[in-house]
Amino acid sequence: MKKYWDFIMNLLKGYKRKYIFVLILLLFSVIMQLFSTYMSKIVVDCFTSTNGIEDIYQPELLGPVGNLLVAMLGGADFIMTNKWILAIGILVFGIILAASFIIRGFIRSYIMTSISSKIRLTLFYHIERLPYSYIKMHTNGDILQTCMKDESTLRNFIGRQFMGLANTLFMLITSFTILITISWKIALCSIAVIPVLVIYSIVLLKKESKLYRQSDDAEAVVIGRIEENINSIRVVKAYNNENYEINQFSRELDDYYNITKRWNRLSAFFYSSSDILVFGEIIFTTLFSAYLAFKGEISTGTLVVAFSFTANVIWPIRDSVQTLASFAKAAVAIDRMKNLLDEPLEDIDSGEEPEIKGNIEFKDTCFRYPDGGSTCLDNLNLNIKAGETVALMGRTGSGKSTLVYLLSRLYDYNSGSIKVDGVELKDISKKCVRKNVSLVLQEPFLFSRTIYQNMTIADEHADMASIEEAIKIADLDKTVATFKDGYDTVIGERGTTLSGGQKQRLAMARTILKDSPILIFDDSLSAVDAETDLRIRTELQNRGRKSTTIIITHKVMTAKDADKIVVLDKGRIMEIGNHDELIKNNGFYKQIYDMQTRVE
């Protein structure tokens, strides 16, 4: 319980005074509401009195609240001769009550909006700073569920249910106190069912909370499926796979529906059955009050107000149980958020920040993925000199992409060593590494922004001349010139308005603009033709800065001009040398060369 309270209090930092002010307004509203309700006793007694002033003004029967209201309205004599004052009193209490509701609503809306922004910013900041390995091991649906559904559940609890609980406690305490001053017998009668209601609620709420958690997890799966299909719509349509995806989604939706249906049934049963207890208590207390009125122990006005205050005692108890159910949902949301927020952030600042020129040395480097069993790199030894162009080739799963993931410190190697300009890679801060190592993936990600905005991700201070030069090197300048809005053309979500080759070239231009000493192209020329491939590589070689360039490719035509070609297999180097040397070896590279030249 403490961890939930601490989490909520942390969210309220900076808003506690406003929140407390809202609670004070809430207490004030409850008091005004009770005063207004108590007015009904005075009104009924006033108009049903047969003995005049004595029926109304009996301090021992009115109680403290009644005596206070009679005094506020001018006294018993004044009320009997000016009964219109009762209408004025009810009207004034109503206006004050409405004004407090309006003020409270404005402040509460401000607090809820602010807290919502704070939660979402906190979650987004944390997600952005989480290690790459964590994001890869968790589904997008799970993360989206936490950021959207769980955030909404927690926000509503803090802004509505938690304040509703305060309202419930205020109403319960004040109403019960007033009932005692009116008739202690009625007061005790009004709480007779509370022990049964509390025990009954605790038993059912445990089951409801468990089902809600299962429903929440199932909804995350559904959201993940929708998000995945939207992102892969081209593949789905290309393979005519719509029916399969619909059937898969239908099964997952059925699982979510069945769990949610069980949760809704239990919830509906709990609220309806608890209502029976509440109404039974109200009926029993009302009949008992009528009996006391018949005996003459209480007045008709007291009978009327006793009914209202009994409802004000028993319904808040029922509402507090409902709030506990909401807390169970909020607890699930907090648990999911804490699981995310408790994940340690990636430390990108600690470490050295040497000047990087591009010398790279792998020595007995070993690595296996956290969720994988086999070793991806096995005692790898490789030297790359600054300014060299190195091509990596090999079968799928041979460790090519893993090698460049280690160089950019998306993952850290398990053993061995990787040194950059003589400095151990793990000792260099990740910020420094990623500033000096630029990676272009085979499936580059482009944001739903303009071409210019996608380019300035690499360098927000880049001038137009530098951007145009990078676009030209990537052989995309003629394409941009055909767009109506030029560099202000919005390329669509994930670059969907561009072809595969255009996306790769734009991502490449973005990397070139960054002008890092180490460039890595992870099969990023796969979607362009041979002529464009050659033109881009020529432009890269002719540009002013000579970067260390690593190219992952399956094309011999792309690899043959490299200073060094490295052939990997099962995380080990099988062949290394230039094009002419590997052709003579008659190994894997020669086989690929023969196949590709034969096809051509």
For 392-428, the pLDDT digits (tens) are: 998 888 888 888 889 988 888 989 999 999 999 999 9
pLDDT average, residue stretch 136-150: 77
Q: Does residue 431 register a pLDDT over 60?
A: yes
* pLDDT confidence band for 492 (50 / 70 / 90): low
Greater confidence, 583 or 212? Answer: 583
- Give me the long-range contacts of 456-461 (CB less than 8 A, separation at least 24): 457/510, 458/510, 458/511, 458/513, 458/514, 459/513, 459/514, 459/515
542 is written with which tokens? 């002719």
Residue 238 CA to residue 20 CA, distance in Å, equals 58
Mean residue pLDDT across the chain = 79
What confidence tier does 593 reach under pLDDT thresholds 50, 70, 90? Answer: confident
Q: Is the pLDDT of residue 485 over 50?
A: yes
Per-residue confidence (pLDDT) for residue 53, from 0 to 100:
45
At residue 459, φ and ψ (nearest 5 deg) are: -155, 105
Kind of pairing, strands 564-569 and 389-394? parallel
Highest mean pLDDT among 37-41, 84-88, 589-593: 589-593
Q: How many whole angstroms separate alpha carbon 325 and alpha carbon 208?
A: 8
pLDDT of residue 168: 77
Among 152-166, 185-199, 473-487, 491-505, the range scoring the smallest mean pLDDT is: 491-505
% of the chain residues with pLDDT over 90 = 6
- Residue 599 confidence (pLDDT) above 70: no
Q: Does 52 have pLDDT greater than 50?
A: no
Give 537's pLDDT tier (boundaries 50, 70, 90): low
Structure tokens of 101? 């509701």
Contact 561, 538 (CB under 8 A): no
With b for 16 or more beta-carbon neighbours within 10 A and e for fewer, the 84-117 pattern comes to: eebeebbeebeebbeebeeebeebbeebbeebbe
pLDDT band at 113 (very low <50, low <70, confident <90, very high): confident
Read off φ and ψ for residue 572, nearest 5 degrees: -120, 155
Residue 416 host element (H or E): strand 415-420
109-123, 205-219, 331-345, range with the lowest pLDDT? 205-219
Task: List domains and CATH numbers for the chain.
Answer: 2-341 (1.20.1560.10), 360-599 (3.40.50.300)
Rounded average pLDDT over 51-66: 55
- Judged against a pLDDT cut of 70, whether residue 544 lies above it is answered with no
Look at the pTM and tell me if it is higher than 0.85.
Answer: no
What's the pLDDT at 372?
Answer: 64
What does the alpha-carbon distance between residue 127 and residue 130 come to, in Å, rounded to a whole number? 5
Sheet-wide strand order for 564-569: 437-440, 518-522, 548-552, 389-394, 564-569, 572-577
The average pLDDT across 114-136 equals 84
Tell me how crowded residue 469 is: count the other CB atoms within 10 A of its CB: 19
